[in-house]
């Protein structure tokens, strides 16, 4: 019997063939990665499969008895069940999908330089501590009971399938500058991108710029500023640095001072996760007070770590709380963890009132809290510490968190001996980037988040930052890449690229009225990791401008451009 080929299949066959050719190399790589794990899973799963077979035998018998008249849905259900079991086995063997979205090209470059262990504040040896810095961590080093250092990049990446100590060579096929120009010039001529727009594309492996259009012209970067803040903070303090909030007792006065350490992720919520918990701090503080025979104290709070105005130059705004060294849950007035929302007017007082409530629940009475400053004679009763700086950077970039960005800019200022206010944070960020040898000519940093329209960055600088973060010589900067939102999946890109390069483009977005920007990384059709930066000013339709930027990034992902 000859089965005629259906007309729809004839039409679709060329497209299917191209798709098959595209995914075949990737499937081969995946097969190579999961093959050893599948063997282990098969061995471990043997007993479970035997039990499942025994349990399923009566039901299979019923299906068999149905014979030729058995309904097709029964066989379909059986096949579906078997397929799900196989899929579950493959997923188990391969391990969880890379939650940060880091792709092979990034992972291979990240494992180039083997480093082990974290320094947890960099207390010993090559400490990042600088003169004039107000340290917010335990000065005694890694004390007993202190948080364990964050894992170093290679060990984490090896767990994701990267080979420790070995790097897969980048493909020899570097995109042609001429071919890229032909493709990108046309896309960037879209009227939706306004009268002024700039762009740069750089090969991460070599640092060579492959495309530039006004790349050295500084424009308003909006939230892509956070990439610069991240690199500056990590280079100044180290990926393992943590921020400490403490409760201190003044001698002979029964005054407990809640000392803010500038941790933007401190939480008063019951489900703290990996964040420092105000409840835990209160519980430990209460125990220390009771050991001293104290059940009633004067309560105050110290926010003197940061200086200057707490209100951003744009004024009160739902995108950012007042910037203070002591705040809980970003001073949010609802249960949210990201996005714009009304904030309490005095975050430090609000956090301390919650601390007082937690102390009361532990049997410690307090006065109404007020501002103060802990003296050098005060005894530390208890401390809680933030996640490592690398985790804060990832959270900031993925969610475009302005509160974390402004806190990290001020922490960078403290680490480099600069006044910790808006201007000082911007000055410290720029100085740190210059110290790294990055192209800062023409740039201006007025804040750490990009909310200030006075910020100015170039496409050259943004791509240079991404290349620096991918440099094996700078593993401390790796979270800049791993924190970038994944197109179609995470953060500010979760609802974008539905019909384009979902899962392939990773980028930081930037949006202000009349400003649309995008900067990140993409692996092209030949497996080459490229860094790109696209800045558009004077846009009139934000949706159209965003679509134009996404289209350009998608084109890079699908372009061999040789």
Q: Are 464 and 479 in contact (CB under 8 A)?
A: no
User: Which residues does residue 444 pair with via DSSP β-bridges, in sequence order?
Assistant: 456
Selection from 301, 303, 299 nearest residue 356 by Cα: 299
φ, ψ (nearest 5 deg) of residue 112: -60, -40
Q: Which of 226, 427, 446, 508 is catalytic?
A: 226
Q: How far is residue 402's CA from residue 92's CA, in Å, rounded to a whole number?
A: 37
Distance (Å) of CA 441 to CA 290, 412, 436, 562: 58, 20, 13, 32
| CA angle, residues 470, 484, 161, in degrees to nearest 5 | 60
Q: Are 160 and 102 in contact (CB under 8 A)?
A: yes
Measured torsion, CA atoms of residues 229, 230, 235, 236, in degrees rounded to the nearest 10: 50
Token pair belonging to 355: 């601390």
Q: Is 503 exposed, middle or buried (CB count within 10 Å of its CB: 0-12, 13-18, 19+)? A: middle
37 is catalytic: no
How many Cβ atoms from other residues are within 10 Å of residue 181's Cβ?
A: 16
Q: Are 257 and 281 in contact (CB under 8 A)?
A: no
Q: How far is residue 379's CA from residue 382's CA, in Å, rounded to a whole number?
A: 9
226 is catalytic: yes
- Would you list the DSSP string of 134-145? ---S-TT-S-TT
140 is catalytic: no
Q: Are 410 and 423 in contact (CB under 8 A)?
A: no
Q: Which of 137, 300, 386, 400 is catalytic?
A: 400
Q: How far is residue 143's CA from residue 316's CA, in Å, rounded to a whole number?
A: 40
Q: Which of 137, 152, 223, 277 is catalytic?
A: 223
User: In this structure, are strands 244-250 and 255-259 parallel, antiparallel, or unpaired?
Assistant: antiparallel
Q: Are 479 and 151 in contact (CB under 8 A)?
A: no
Token pair belonging to 377: 């004679």
Q: What are the catalytic residues?
A: 223, 226, 400
């Amino acid at each position: 019997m000859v089965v005629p080929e259906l007309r729809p299949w004839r039409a679709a066959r060329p497209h299917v063939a191209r798709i098959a050719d595209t995914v075949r190399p990737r499937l081969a790589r995946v097969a190579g990665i999961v093959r050893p794990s599948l063997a282990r899973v098969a061995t471990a799963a043997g007993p479970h499969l035997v039990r499942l077979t025994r349990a399923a035998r009566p039901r299979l018998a019923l299906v068999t008895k149905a014979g030729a008249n058995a309904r097709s849905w029964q066989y379909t259900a059986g096949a579906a069940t078997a397929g799900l079991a196989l899929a579950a086995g493959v997923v188990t063997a391969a391990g969880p999908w890379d939650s940060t979205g880091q792709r092979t090209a990034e992972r291979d470059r990240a494992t180039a330089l083997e480093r082990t262990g974290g320094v947890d504040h960099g207390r010993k040896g090559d400490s990042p501590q600088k003169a004039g810095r107000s340290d917010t961590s335990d000065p005694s080093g890694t004390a007993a009971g202190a948080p364990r250092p964050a894992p170093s990049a290679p060990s984490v990446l090896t767990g994701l399938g990267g080979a420790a100590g070995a790097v897969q060579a980048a493909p020899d096929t570097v995109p042609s500058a001429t071919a890229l120009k032909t493709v990108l010039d046309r896309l960037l001529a879209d009227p939706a991108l306004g009268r002024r727009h700039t762009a740069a594309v750089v090969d991460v492996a070599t640092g060579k710029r492959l495309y530039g259009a006004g790349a050295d012209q500084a424009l308003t970067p909006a939230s892509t500023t956070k990439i610069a803040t991240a690199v500056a903070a990590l280079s100044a303090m180290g990926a393992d640095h943590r921020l400490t909030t403490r409760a201190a007792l003044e001698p002979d006065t029964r005054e407990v001072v809640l000392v803010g350490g500038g941790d933007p992720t401190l939480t008063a919520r019951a489900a703290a996760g990996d964040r420092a918990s105000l409840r835990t701090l209160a519980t430990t503080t209460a125990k220390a007070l009771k050991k001293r025979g104290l059940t009633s104290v004067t309560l105050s709070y110290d926010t003197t770590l940061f200086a200057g105005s707490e209100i951003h130059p744009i004024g009160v705004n739902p995108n950012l709380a007042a910037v203070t060294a002591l705040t809980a849950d970003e001073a949010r007035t609802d249960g949210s963890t990201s996005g714009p929302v009304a904030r309490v007017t005095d975050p430090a007082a609000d956090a301390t009132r919650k601390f007082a409530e937690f102390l009361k629940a532990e049997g410690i009475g307090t006065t109404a809290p007020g501002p103060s400053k802990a003296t050098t004679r005060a005894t530390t009763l208890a401390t809680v510490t933030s996640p490592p700086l690398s985790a804060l950077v990832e959270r900031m970039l993925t969610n475009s968190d302005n509160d974390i960005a402004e806190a990290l800019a001020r922490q960078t200022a403290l680490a480099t001996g600069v006044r910790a206010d808006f201007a000082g944070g911007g000055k410290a960020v720029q100085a740190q980037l210059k110290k790294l040898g990055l192209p800062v000519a023409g740039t201006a940093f007025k804040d750490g988040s990009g909310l200030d329209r006075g910020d100015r960055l170039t496409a050259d600088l943004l791509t240079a930052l991404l290349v620096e973060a991918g440099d094996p010589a700078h593993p401390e900067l790796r979270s800049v890449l791993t924190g970038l939102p994944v197109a179609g999946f995470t953060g500010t890109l979760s609802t974008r690229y539905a019909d384009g390069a979902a899962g392939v483009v990773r980028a930081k977005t930037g949006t202000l009225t009349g400003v649309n920007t995008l900067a990140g990384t993409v692996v092209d059709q030949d497996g080459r990791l490229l860094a790109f930066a696209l800045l558009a000013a004077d846009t009139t339709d934000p949706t159209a401008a965003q679509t134009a930027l996404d289209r350009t990034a998608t084109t890079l992902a699908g372009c061999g451009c040789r």
